[in-house]
Amino acid sequence: MSFLNVEFPGGLRVDARLKNHVIKTDQPARAGGEGSAPSPFELFLGSLATCAGIYALSFCKNKGLSTEGMDLTMDLEMNRETGMIAKISMNLSLPEGFPEKYREAILRSMDLCAVKMHMHQPPEFNITTSYK
């Protein structure tokens, strides 16, 4: 059994079936898709932000701290020559009353995000083809 299966439901949509979930993707209209779902690259970026977010949420839950009003934003700086992302900036807006003594600790916690850590030590890729 594979970890996940990718399906091609039509157009430029490519969906991943993972356990009992379907992760839908599409290309934006400007790229020939319908824009019916995030692009795979947008999901990648979203996985970075939501991973950092779950680490922040877990930190607060473990300390018994409120997360009401907390949110996280992500901004990108592009390298104009390569078209690649040069810098990713995230900002965690802390809820009112968040203890100052935990400010650096929650950042250290978010820095442990597994998605980000895999970018620092990327896995080896093995891509093959086969016939049904």
79-104 pLDDT, tens digit per residue, is: 999 999 999 999 999 999 999 999 99
Cα–Cα distance for residue pair 94/44, rounded to 1 Å: 24
Assess if residue 20 is contained within a domain.
Answer: yes
Q: Quick one: 17 and 47 in the same domain?
A: no
Give pLDDT, residue 23: 96
Give pLDDT, residue 9: 96
Structural domain including 1 reads 1-38
Say how many domains are in the chain.
Answer: 2
Cα–Cα distance for residue pair 98/95, rounded to 1 Å: 6
Q: Which two tokens stand for residue 116?
A: 């980000």
Question: To which H or E segment does residue 20 belong?
Answer: none
Q: Quick one: 84 and 113 in the same domain?
A: yes
Q: Give the pTM.
A: 0.89
Give pLDDT, residue 83: 94
pLDDT at residue 68 tops 90 = yes
